[in-house]
């Protein structure tokens, strides 16, 4: 349990530290290409008062309340799963979602907006500016969905029916 808690806390604090560093820099420094990335990563200093792409920014109380509710639900699922033996992938997935969600929720409640600070300069991703918290939420959600999908498939097609020849 403490390993997952430490992991999630470290991820959230890392994202918050990067956001703090971005916020401390003058606006004139942005956008800025990260040379070490071969031009693949570009830094920004964006303030997003809404959800993705500013969706619902005209409803600031809802933009605060909905993530509080969602994060509470994820925290409840995490608390349930963390007490179970095994289930490492689910624990990892929920920890990732919690870390990213906590970082972004902190921004919303403290600053009134989420700091988005980088973009991957590849195809349509060039138009999307996000933060590490967003990556954690996406990765955790994808991992959780994949685990659930595999479990569902296993329920429909148990191993013995797929891999073992049925006796006649």
CA distance 46 to 63: 17
pLDDT of residue 86: 93
pLDDT digits (tens, 9 = 90+) for 30-47: 999 999 999 999 999 999
- pLDDT under 50: residue ranges of the chain: 162-164, 168
pLDDT of residue 1: 77
| Cβ-defined contacts of 35-42 (< 8 Å, 24+) | 39/121, 40/120, 40/121, 40/122, 41/118, 41/119, 41/120, 41/121, 42/118, 42/119, 42/121, 42/126
Query: pTM to 2 decimals?
Result: 0.88
pLDDT of residue 158: 67
CA distance 113 to 67: 13
Beta strand pairing call for 41-48 and 114-120: antiparallel
pLDDT of residue 157: 72
pLDDT of residue 164: 47
pLDDT of residue 49: 94
C-alpha neighbours within 13 Å on the C-beta side of residue 20: 9
Report residue 86 as tokens. 């095994």
pLDDT digits (tens, 9 = 90+) for 119-145: 999 999 999 999 999 999 999 999 999
pLDDT of residue 111: 96
Length of the chain: 168
Q: What's the Cα-to-Cα distance from 24 to each of 18, 49, 71, 96, 128, rounded to whole Å?
A: 10, 19, 28, 26, 22
């Amino acid at each position: 349990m403490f390993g997952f808690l430490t992991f999630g806390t470290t991820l959230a604090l890392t994202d918050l530290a990067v956001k703090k560093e971005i916020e401390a820099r003058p606006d004139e420094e942005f956008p800025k290409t990260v040379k070490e990335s071969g031009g693949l990563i570009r830094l920004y200093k964006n303030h997003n008062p809404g959800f993705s792409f500013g969706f619902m920014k005209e409803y600031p109380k809802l933009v605060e309340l909905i993530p509080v509710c969602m994060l509470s639900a994820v925290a409840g699922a995490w608390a349930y799963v963390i007490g179970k033996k095994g289930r490492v992938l689910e624990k990892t997935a929920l920890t990732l979602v919690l870390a990213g969600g906590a970082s972004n929720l902190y921004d919303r409640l403290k600053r009134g907006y989420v700091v988005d600070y980088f973009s991957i300069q590849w195809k349509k991703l060039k138009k999307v500016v996000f933060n590490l918290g967003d990556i954690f939420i996406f990765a955790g959600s994808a991992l959780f969905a994949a685990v659930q999908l595999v479990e569902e498939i296993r329920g429909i097609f148990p191993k013995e029916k797929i891999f073992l020849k049925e006796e006649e």
